[in-house]
Amino acid sequence: MAQPAHRKPTRRDFLKVAAGAGAAAGITGAPWVVRDVHAQQKPKVIVFARESSYVKNFDEHFQKVLMPAYEKEKGVKIEYQIQAAGGSAVPQLVSMVENKSGADLAWVQQEWLYRDALVDVSDIAEEVGKQQGGWYDEIKSLSVDKGKWKSVPKGNIGQLMVYRKDWFEEAGIKKFPDTWDEFLEAGIKLKAKGHPFGMSMGHGFADNYSWMYPLLWSHGVTVMDKDGKKVALDSSETEKVIEYVKRLYKEACIEDCIGWLDPANNKAFLTSQISCTNNAYSIMVSAKRDLPEMGKVIDHALNPAGPKGRFHSLVPVTHGVFAYSKDVQGAKDLLRWLMNPKQYRPWIASGDMYFAPYLHGFDKVPEWDIEPRVKPFQKVLETGKLTSWPAPANRQHGEVVNRWVVIDMFTKSLTGTPTKTAIADAVAQLKTIYG
């Protein structure tokens, strides 16, 4: 059988195909067509964005218990968008705010950057406070802006000293050091035995701030004054603290920790490279799950005290509703429902108290007895301060945190810059930022 001769495609053929494909894509992809068809069939949806939790049960409880319960009770579906943990959430939130699209309700990390895009949730926060023993004062500095609650605090991710009890005992240290000086002595002993400390000092967002700021505060140093108008970092005490950190780094720490991002100290601890770091209790969670022998010998301790007291840094988790949401009321209804003790308490418990509520009603609840080594994380709330403390938690503070002004003051001095120059550089940066 003779084969039909192939005709060379002409330009007209190409245009026909292109036009046909374009039309097909246009019809099938036309959002108005698809939405109109399905709008009447789909239930109402509220998008809730959160950073993933290190405690697996916490996210599972939300997905398996709370989401179906809310849909059953209110007829509203929750779309749970889990963002990867480790610093990627803030850019995503900034992007949502800039594009005015995305989640309706979210864990609003670093909310000082975009408070203007959040709606007033005072009614919910005040109701929750009344119901559950009242809010801790410090968290109000973050969530309350110009007299209005812009977010409802969910809980604090406690940051404490995490250490290998067995190695400390081997080095003759029966009790975790109570002061920063004792902490340095212990570190020197441990490093001599091949178990250095690993205190994060890189461009992370939690494990560096959580010991460096408390160290400064416990020596009476703050970055700004109470009003956030005057730079307070330029002091002789700052010099002393930097000299202390130089010794701590050189004599007690693993060299690598100067460049660590947040996940690095978890990795170093779990691979037995360090004996102590400052972290949330995610290290213990991972060890108990994957390295049970190590899980038994990990313990937590409060930050050591300095001449001006003992301090901790708060890592707040707050929930806010975006003003751009097409269903602000629906998002607020969901937030109110989640913060109701009926839902809130089991939700918090499902995370093994990883998120410590900023509510006094939770100070002595039996959920804290789930694991004795978790209990110290409740104490963080008593001495915990926002990294902006005592200044307001505002945009300028956000810039200081995200440009690592204070962290780099330390690391510059550790890498050869004279202490006074490192302080002067940081002060100059602060003056530029605060104007």
Partner 1 sequence: MSSVLEATRAGAQTAPARRPVGWLRATVERESVFSWMIVTPPVLFLMLFLGYPFFYGVYLSFFQREVARPATFVGFGNFVKLSQDPIFWLAVKNTILFTAVATVLKASLGLAMALVMNQDFKMKAFTRAMLLLPFIVPTVLSTVAWQWIFDPGMGLFNRLLMISGLAKTGPSWLGNPTLAMVSIIMVNTWRGLPFFGISILAGLQTIPTELHESATIDGAGTWGRFWYVTLPSLLPVIFIVTTFSIVITFFDFQLVYVLTGGGPANSTHLMATYAYSISMGAGQMGLGSAVALSMVPVLGLLLAVLTFYVRKA
Q: Which residues bind partner 1 (CB under 8 A)?
A: 1-2, 4-5, 11-12, 15, 87, 90-91, 94-95, 97-98, 113-117, 201-204, 254-261, 267-268, 271, 273, 395, 398-399, 402-404, 408, 411-412, 414-415, 417, 425, 429, 432
**Closer by beta carbon to partner 1, 383 or else 411:** 411
- Please state whether beta strands 355-356 and 144-145 pair in parallel, antiparallel, or not at all (unpaired): unpaired
Residue 290 Cα distances to 65, 256, 295, 297, 391, angstroms: 26, 24, 8, 14, 41
**Closer by beta carbon to partner 1, 81 or else 272:** 272
Minimum CB–partner distance for residue 257 and partner 1 (Å): 7
Minimum CB–partner distance for residue 405 and partner 1 (Å): 9
Q: What DSSP string runs through 155-174?
A: EEE--EEEEEHHHHHHTT--
Minimum CB–partner distance for residue 170 and partner 1 (Å): 19
Token pair, residue 199, equals 């205190």
Token pair, residue 373, equals 């080594």
**Closer by beta carbon to partner 1, 108 or else 339:** 108
**Closer by beta carbon to partner 1, 93 or else 381:** 93
**Closer by beta carbon to partner 1, 132 or else 282:** 282
Q: Which single residue is written with the structure tokens 């594009």? A: 99
Q: What is the residue type of 170? A: E
Minimum CB–partner distance for residue 112 and partner 1 (Å): 9
**Closer by beta carbon to partner 1, 45 or else 94:** 94
Dist CA 262 CA 279 (whole Å) = 9
Minimum CB–partner distance for residue 433 and partner 1 (Å): 9
Q: 3-state DSSP call for residue 227?
A: coil
Helix residue ranges per DSSP H, 292-370? 292-296, 328-339, 341-350
Q: Which helix (H) or strand (E) holds 76?
A: strand 76-83
Minimum CB–partner distance for residue 150 and partner 1 (Å): 11
Cβ pair 265, 258 in contact under 8 A: no
